[in-house]
Amino acid sequence: MANTHNEDAFVAFERVQKSYDGETLVVKDLNLTLPKGEFLTMLGPSGSGKTTCLMMLAGFETATHGEIKIDGVSINNIPPHKRGIGMVFQNYALFPHMTIAENLAFPLEVRKIGKSDREAKVKRALDMVEMGSFGGRRPAQLSGGQQQRVALARALVFEPELVLMDEPLGALDKQLREKMQFEITHLAHNLGITTVYVTHDQTEALTMSDRVAVFDDGRIQQIAPPAELYENPQNSFVAQFIGENNTLHGVVKKISGNACVVQLDSGEEIDAMPVNVSKVGDRTTVSIRPERVEFDKTRLKKGAHTLKAEVLEFIYMGDIFRTRLRVAGNDEFIIKSRNAPDQVRLQPGQQIEIGWLPEDCRALDA
């Protein structure tokens, strides 16, 4: 778990709890620290407490218990205009009656920055998001994507050390969203800004972040860099929430070191790596990524367990093939294979055997 007295922490949540009604905790004992310059994403389903955490950090909501610190100072002791926090939200809320340049100048005026300085900063911020020639327009005269870029420029124009973004790309179409994801991460890294980004979109979280904190029910279920989160989920929730996973249910039959044999409820045995199980007899949900399933026996280790499978559906997706199987009574077992010249295209009705390396199959909490 995060160190609660980390001297390198630029942002720190220390044992933070939040209740809106005095009864239910929507944030439960949150400990989280970010070093300067980190891009951290809070990822989780709707209602898991992400926005509440961001609002507490911004100072719009107060924590019921615990403390939030920026650069070692409790935010309660920092007046809002000195917090140096830039914010971008889903409904970017540019001021409709002001031009783009006026929108950007506004946070500078609030901070009592002189006119010539203001003009230089506005120009630089607009150039940064490639909107330099749009300063004279009003928000209604821009596309959604352009407005979003202006919102980003407005959050950055006063050179905040910390930027908070709450689902800022939710309203954009896929192509623009992907372009903006790329632009935001590059801007943040180039400017050395510490960013807390909120999304419910796991692809967005994986592609943009230095670390991802997976939220569920007011708690961080796991916090890790994207590759670790994807490859080493620590529990069933994270395994299901990040990427696609096949799950099978059973009981641990043998266990030694980092290998175990699980007897599935259908009776067959499989190889797995114990993650949340510790002894013979433990119930478990095992989790296998579709791209790690092998149906070419020569690629399996000697003595590996295999399962009989029936091909139900073959879907051509261009870069990959997606094949749906019936495995151990599960009709939704998916395997993915790369569309390479020598790749086998399985046919519905075909009977095959599948297996995997034990380290690719994680025995998690039941």
Instruction: Provide the minimum distance between the beta carbon of 44 and ligand ADP in the complex, in angstroms, as a whole number.
Output: 6
Strand order across the beta sheet in which 351-354 lies = 330-338, 320-327, 307-316, 351-354
Binding stretches for Mg ion (CB under 5 A): 51
> How many CA within 13 A on the CB side of residue 124?
13
Q: From the list ligand ADP, Mg ion, none, which binds 20 (C-beta under 5 to 8 Å, kind-based)?
A: ligand ADP
Rg (CA), the chain: 25
The DSSP bridge pattern shows strands 283-288 and 246-256 to be antiparallel
Which amino acid makes up residue 100? I
Token pair of 340, please? Answer: 């390479």
- Smallest distance, Å, CB 19 to ligand ADP? 9
Residue 50 Cβ vs ligand ADP, minimum distance, rounded to whole Å: 4
Residue 327 CB, shortest distance to ligand ADP, in Å, is 34
Query: What are the residues whose beta carbons fall under 8 Å from the beta carbon of 229, sequence distance 6 or more?
Result: 206, 212, 214, 222, 238, 242
β-partners of residue 88 are 165
**Closest distance of CB 168 from Mg ion, Å:** 12
**Rounded (10°) CA dihedral 334, 176, 39, 203:** -10
Nearer to Mg ion, 51 or 221 (CB): 51
Scan residues 10-69 and list those touching ligand ADP (CB under 6 A): 20, 26, 44, 46-52
Q: Which of ligand ADP, Mg ion, none has residue 351 at its interface (CB below 5 to 8 Å by kind)?
A: none
Q: State which residue, 47 or 132, has the beta carbon closest to ligand ADP.
A: 47
10 Å CB burial of residue 334 (0-12, 13-18, 19+) is buried
Q: How many residues bind ligand ADP (CB under 6 A)?
A: 10
Distance of alpha carbon 345 from alpha carbon 358, whole angstroms:
25
Alpha helices in 129-235 (DSSP H): 144-156, 174-191, 202-208, 226-231
Number of Cβ atoms within 10 Å of the Cβ of 137: 15
Residue 161 or 167 with smaller CB distance to Mg ion: 167
* Residues 192, 215 contacting (CB under 8 angstroms): no
Q: How far is the CB of 43 from ligand ADP (least distance, A)?
A: 9
Pairing type for strands 269-274 and 259-264 reads antiparallel
C-beta of 200 vs 324, nearer to ligand ADP: 200
**Residue with smaller CB distance to Mg ion, 60 or 95:** 60
* In the complex, least distance from residue 206 CB atom to Mg ion, rounded to whole angstroms: 19
49 binds, among ligand ADP, Mg ion, none (CB under 5 to 8 A by kind): ligand ADP
Which DSSP category does 24 fall into? Answer: S
Residue 51 or 202 having the CB closest to Mg ion: 51
Tell me the closest approach of the beta carbon of residue 26 to ligand ADP, in angstroms.
4
Q: Name the residue among 198, 220, 169 with its Cα closest to residue 32.
A: 220
**CB nearer to ligand ADP: pick between 208 and 255:** 208
Which of Mg ion, ligand ADP, none interacts with 44 (beta carbon under 5 to 8 A by kind)? ligand ADP
Measured from the CB atom, the residue of 46 and 351 that comes closer to ligand ADP is 46
Which residues contact ligand ADP (rule: CB under 6 A)?
20, 26, 44, 46-52
